[in-house]
């Protein structure tokens, strides 16, 4: 069976779980990692809550994500760095109590992974200001 036939069979079998990497000399199929980012980053699930750390090269900041209803998430960070106050998105970090901030998104994160990545990006940018 030729490469193209194998590729088509693989795509039909796995349905969106495959990404194709090819070059002029060699085409190969590589299975996409389907482990959620929050698991890769060692967040732990406790019911409808995820607990872990927003990690950057500048530090790790304890966080919590709560699924309030299917597909709707609330993101929290404990004691974010003071340099965050210089970032244009500082207003999106709403103080709640005892160092806990809720993070508001203009466009709601559809998955915990989206929120984790967005918050980590803001934290990194804050340190560079």
Give average pLDDT by consecutive 10-residue segment, the chain, 129 residues: 57 52 57 82 95 96 92 94 94 94 91 94 94
Q: What was the pLDDT predicted at 10? A: 58
**Residue where the block lists tokens 């244009």:** 88
**Domains in the chain, CATH or no CATH each:** 1-34 (no CATH), 37-128 (3.90.1150)
| Residue 103 pLDDT | 96
Q: What are phi and psi of 89, to 5 degrees?
A: -100, 10
CA neighbor of 77 nearest in space, from 67, 63, 87, 91: 63
Q: pTM of the entire structure?
A: 0.74
Give the pLDDT confidence score for residue 27 in this predicted structure.
61
pLDDT of amino acid 125: 95
């Amino acid at each position: 069976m030729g490469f193209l036939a194998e590729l088509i069979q693989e795509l039909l079998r796995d349905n969106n779980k495959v990404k194709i990497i090819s070059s002029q000399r060699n085409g190969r199929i590589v299975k996409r990692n389907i482990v959620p980012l929050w698991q890769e980053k060692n967040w732990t699930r406790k019911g409808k809550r995820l607990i872990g750390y927003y990690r950057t090269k500048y530090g790790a900041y304890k966080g919590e994500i709560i699924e309030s209803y299917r597909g709707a998430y609330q993101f929290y960070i404990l004691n974010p760095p003071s340099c965050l106050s210089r970032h244009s998105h500082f207003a999106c970090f709403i103080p709640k109590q005892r160092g806990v901030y809720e993070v508001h998104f203009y466009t709601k994160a559809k998955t915990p992974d989206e929120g984790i990545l967005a918050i980590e990006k803001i934290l990194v940018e804050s340190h560079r200001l």
